A and B are shown apart, each in its own frame.
Chain A
Amino acid sequence: MKSINIKRAAAVVAGAAMVASVVTPALAAVGPTQADVNALVANIKANPANTKVIIGTNGAAISDGLAAAKIAAVLASLNYEQTTVGDVTGTKSVTVSTSGSEAVTPTASTQYMELDNLHGSTGYLADGTATTLTKESLGEVLKKQSLVASSDFTGTMASATYYYEDKIELMGGTSGLAAQYSEDTAGTKGHGLYMVSPSGALKYIVDFGAGIPIGPTIKYQETPELLFLGKAYGLNWKETESGKLALFTGDKQEMTEGDTIVQGDYEVTFKSGTRSGDKDYAVFQIKKGDVVKTTGTLTTADSEEVFFGTDKVSISAEYVGYDQETGKGYATIRLGTGLQTLESGDAFPGNTDWVIDRVNTTSGDTKLLTVSLKYQKTYTGTYLTGLAQGTMIDGPITAAGTPLFKVGLAGFGSKSTNYKTTTVWTKGMGDYNVGVGSELIQVKWQSRDGVTQKFTPEHPGEAIVGYDDTYNARTGFTHDILLNTQDSEGHVVKYGVINDKVIYLQSVAKGTDNRYTVKFRVGGSDGELVEVAGLQNNTNASLVYASPTEPINCNLQVLDFVGGTVDRRLISIGNSATCDVLPDAVHFGKALDFPATGGIPKMDLRDVLDQNNPYMVFYDTTGSHWVEVDYYSQPSTGVQAGLYVYDDSTDLFDQTDTTNFAYDYNKYHITYNSIEADGSVLGEATFIVPNEPRNALIQVTGTSTGAAAGQSVLKVGDTISNVKIEAITCPSTVSGTYYKQKGAISPENLVALDSAAAGTYQIVVGGPYVNNVAKAMAAKDMITVEGASYVYAEGNKLLVAGYSATDTTNAANELIQLLKA
């Protein structure tokens, strides 16, 4: 393609006389010299934002456009640099505002710690080791701070930076913090976990690490300032010692001799400053009303309490200096409500439940190491007052008047080998006044994987849950559930409960190969089908059911008995760690209570366990080691409601016989309610049984003061409600290789028409016949020679053109090579 109308110059014009310094380029000639081109190209490369590609408007072919487009793209690339970074992630946040006058209350982060090794039949004691929280785990609550302690005048003590950090400590051990499950209800507390703790098991500690120097021999130029619970105090290093923390209270104020400050009812005047030897002294006058009092001579770290009747004020000299040139004293004082000396057992200022536990120093009281506060609320009975499951106690109160954190029992922890049910729903059938064995209670609950379990035997003999049986022990195999047996009335035992799930025996079929196929339904008679095939008589097999939270893996045998006319194929299922056939008992206290005058029965669960309280049981009524669901009539108390495992292998169930009951009622916390039941179906009640296993979960949560109505910025982890989202900031995560713009391209176009040519540097594409800028250049006539292809520097312009389209393309490619060099 030809880019220009060829006009052969008859004469060599002045421009053509310029001898181009051809440096044998691969693609095009450069001129006037290589050095000229190199210099201009260097400027263009350094200033891509101030360079334009100029396209002519007199006419251009599409090939010129391609050349210009390539140059423009390369030019744009010069404004970016490739770099590689690791992950750079900013903090994502959302800004919210409240509606109306409701305050925004973002909450801080929460830490959970477990007290493990709970044990005991009547209560659990945690004997885990002490747990300490630091800023790493609860950064929104616990801080690490620094202070700079200034050197003294004489230079015998250098300035240094000291660090101190907050910690929370929960003491473990048998004498330490303990969580106990208690049914020792009082009032309406119900059952649950309680903290059983002697005073001091819960601590807040300020740890000074290697320690900050204290003692009368220390010479600080100015008293170190510490932040305790958000309030600034001066450390009285002269008075602080083991067991005693001495602080200067009040805000710091700087004074020059002669100054007077007013704080509250008090007027303080710096009366005089003096120097004696290497010490500077100050005397202050304090006035309240008409009463004027003068302090003694104070030097750095001295303090004095001044009494005005029953009122007192403390003046602490954080720093006292003297300027010999001016002859004036200088001082930094704190005016407080009294000197603060805290010893073991003293409540920390602003607190009642948190007192000084220890002020720990090095031997000889040369350094302050730790200051700890302890939660000193006493406990009554078997639990720490106020620290019951579901309630939180306040940590030390800060200067803002809010607790630094809250501590409470969140529930049971994560360690347990027991499986248990969650929500249990019971429904009675028929007339509760009928005698023993005639009514059934269906049980429905949700297993921990969220699947509804239905225990719905239609006959008393249909249900067997499990029992600790050695009656029919076999070598290497002990079965704990025996399904497919029959009671005396011919009812076949179909139901069992394994690992929180109902196992319903659907069928046992014998094949022509004398092997058995057993079909179960998990969850109820209409539950998920699980088939175990190929079983041989009296040979171990496995019943496996996959579940994310409650898998089942049981030993399984088919026991093919032929006794008399009955062909029994008993299904024997053995208890193991993954096959818990012994559901645990949960007592619900008194069950349905039918009012004597009729009406809707109520479920009342508040009473403590006693032998007269009914509960729903799976028990053996015939003595043949079956366990069934049945209804036990208690005329005075109505339908039983509870889960209970019966371990009496000797006799009929006898509710009055508690000694043989192997139940363990301490594993659960029960949320009790007074539930009104639907009288038309005899009774319905829902029992919420937490699915958390044993161990006590201690929850420590930071608190926030709550923002005023208006906007607040929240981070991930904060919770909030009733707000409107105002803005969302999502800094991107960048990693790997990316291109960073070096400078703004301004103006935004790298390309311009010749009629609007601008830019500090111009790359002129096309010859004089198409491009007016080229037409004005001295080098224009060089392009009119057949075969000419040039990259020509002239002032701030670089001509990129050729005689033909191919020549122009070559020139463009030559320039691109130079730009990328």
Chain B
Amino acid sequence: MKKPNAKIILITVIFALAAANLLLFSGALNRGACFRDMCLYGETSDPVNEFRLLVNSSSKAIIIAEGDASPTQTTAYVDIAFSQLASDLYLKSPKLIAIAVKDGAAINCSCENYANGTFAACQNDLVYCTSIQPAQDEMMIILKYPSYAKNEAVIKSRTIELRANSGASLSGMVEVLRGLIKKGG
């Protein structure tokens, strides 16, 4: 009997989780908005609208993704989340930064700037990639290497940092945020 494709099952579960990630509660108690598989925290008591406002008030975006230097399944999911965000936010002329991580440490990065309909390399410098900050009209999304205990997205200083416990979870978290953007209009 052919073993079921574990990857297929896993993927199915991921998207099922994303679909079921309705906002469960939000409140001032923990200043977070928790969905089934992640919680969103911000600097206000309404992080959902805070996130929407961050997106709507930004004319430019910086998307940073941390992944393995060598091919891994974990990073495959990071890549898909990275790509989804790049396509969703292309109108914000995204700066794409890929940071290779090994044993928990960043080892190198690649930076690409979107301008005039195409990409061009920007500063491929690790210091630059890890210390970049968004300007007042920019937003920054950081897909942290998924090695955290809990799935949390934290908004601070025009940056939203996604911390996941697995690549699949990270991909699911991005789906939740994409859903928030679409619903907010």
Contacts and interface: CB of A to CB of B under 8 A. Distances in A.
B110 interface: yes
Interface string A1-31: 1111100000000000000000000000000
Given A73-B114, A770-B76, A65 B83 contact: yes
B79 A65 contact: yes
Contact of A55 (B76, B90, B117, B118): B76
Tell me which of B63, B66, B69, B78 has the highest count of chain A C-beta atoms within 10 A of its own C-beta.
B69
Interface string A79-107: 01000000000000000000000000000
Contacts of A809: 110
Nearest to B69: A1
B86 A69 contact: yes
Interface stretch (B44-52, B91-99, B131-139, B148-156): B91-99
B82 interface: yes
B30 interface: no
Nearest to B179: A748
Tell me which of A73, A77, A750 has the highest count of chain B C-beta atoms within 10 A of its own C-beta.
A73
A59 B66 CA distance: 15
Given A66-B112, A753-B80, A59 B75 contact: yes
Contact of B98 (A59, A66, A749): A66
A62 B79 contact: yes
**Chain B residues touching A, range:** 35 or more
A756 interface: yes
Interface stretch (B3-11, B19-27, B32-40, B158-166): B3-11
Contacts of A769: 71
A751 B84 contact: yes
Given A65-B82, A68-B82, A750-B87, A59 B72 contact: yes
B173 interface: no
Interface in A254-301: none
A60 interface: yes
B79 A60 contact: yes
Interface residues of A, number: 45
Interface string B101-121: 100000010101010011100
B8 A69 contact: no
Interface string B46-82: 0000000000000000010111111111011111101
Given A755-B8, A820-B118, A65 B98 contact: yes
B100 interface: yes
A64 B87 contact: no
Contacts of A750: 83-84, 87
Contacts of B43: none
A1 B114 CA distance: 22
A76 B90 contact: yes
B71 A76 contact: no
A813 B120 CA distance: 9
Contact of A56 (B11, B67, B76, B117): B76
B125 interface: no
Contacts of A481: none
Contacts of B84: 72, 749-751
A69 B11 contact: no
A1 B73 CA distance: 16
Contacts of A753: 11, 76, 80
A190 to B, nearest CB: 57
Interface in A28-87: 53, 55-66, 68-77, 80
A7 to B, nearest CB: 13
A72 B101 CA distance: 23
B145 to A, nearest CB: 9
B116 to A, nearest CB: 9
A61 B83 contact: no
Tell me which of B85, B91, B119 has the highest count of chain A C-beta atoms within 10 A of its own C-beta.
B119
B112 A61 contact: no
Contact of B71 (A5, A80, A755, A756): A5
B113 to A, nearest CB: 10
A53 to B, nearest CB: 6
B72 A60 contact: yes
Contact of A60 (B7, B75, B117, B182): B75
A55 B8 contact: no
B90 A62 contact: no
Q: Is the interface of B mostly helix, strand, loop or mixed?
A: mixed
Contacts of A73: 86-87, 89-90, 94, 96, 114, 119
Given A69-B86, A72-B83, A751-B84, A58 B91 contact: no
A592 to B, nearest CB: 61
A811 to B, nearest CB: 14
Contacts of B117: 74, 77, 820
A74 B118 contact: yes
B144 to A, nearest CB: 12
Contacts of A308: none
B139 to A, nearest CB: 15
A789 to B, nearest CB: 16
A816 interface: yes
Contacts of A71: 83
A804 to B, nearest CB: 11
B79 A68 contact: yes
B91 A739 contact: yes
A768 to B, nearest CB: 12
B5 A59 contact: no
A817 interface: yes
Contacts of B91: 80, 739
B87 to A, nearest CB: 4
B73 A751 contact: no
Nearest to B119: A70
Nearest to A749: B84
Nearest to A745: B87
A4 B82 contact: no
Contacts of B79: 55, 60, 62, 64-65, 68-69
A316 to B, nearest CB: 58
Contacts of B182: 748
Given A1-B108, A65-B79, A60 B118 contact: no
B78 A62 contact: yes
A343 B105 CA distance: 99
Contact of A77 (B69, B73, B82, B90): B90
A62 B100 contact: yes
Contacts of B114: 73
A245 B152 CA distance: 82
Interface in A787-818: 809, 813, 816-817
A80 B92 CA distance: 13
A48 B35 CA distance: 32
Given A60-B76, A80-B91, A816 B119 contact: yes
A58 B63 contact: no
Contact of A816 (B71, B99, B110, B118): B118
A756 B83 CA distance: 15
Contacts of A76: 86-88, 90
A730 B90 CA distance: 27
Tell me which of A1, A56, A770, A809 has the highest count of chain B C-beta atoms within 10 A of its own C-beta.
A1
A755 B7 contact: yes
A74 B117 CA distance: 7
A500 B114 CA distance: 65
Contact of B69 (A58, A62, A72): A62
A57 B73 contact: yes
A816 B101 CA distance: 27
23 contacts: A1-B69, A1-B108, A55-B80, A57-B76, A58-B76, A59-B70, A59-B71, A59-B72, A59-B75, A59-B76, A60-B71, A60-B79, A61-B67, A62-B66, A65-B78, A66-B96, A68-B79, A69-B63, A73-B114, A76-B86, A76-B87, A76-B90, A751-B83
Given A65-B98, A73-B94, 7 more contacts: A2-B69, A55-B79, A62-B67, A65-B65, A65-B79, A70-B86, A753-B76
- Counting from the closest, the 3 A-B pairs by CB-CB distance are A65-B79, A62-B67, A59-B71
Interface of A: 1-5, 53, 55-66, 68-77, 80, 739, 748-753, 755-756, 769-770, 809, 813, 816-817, 820
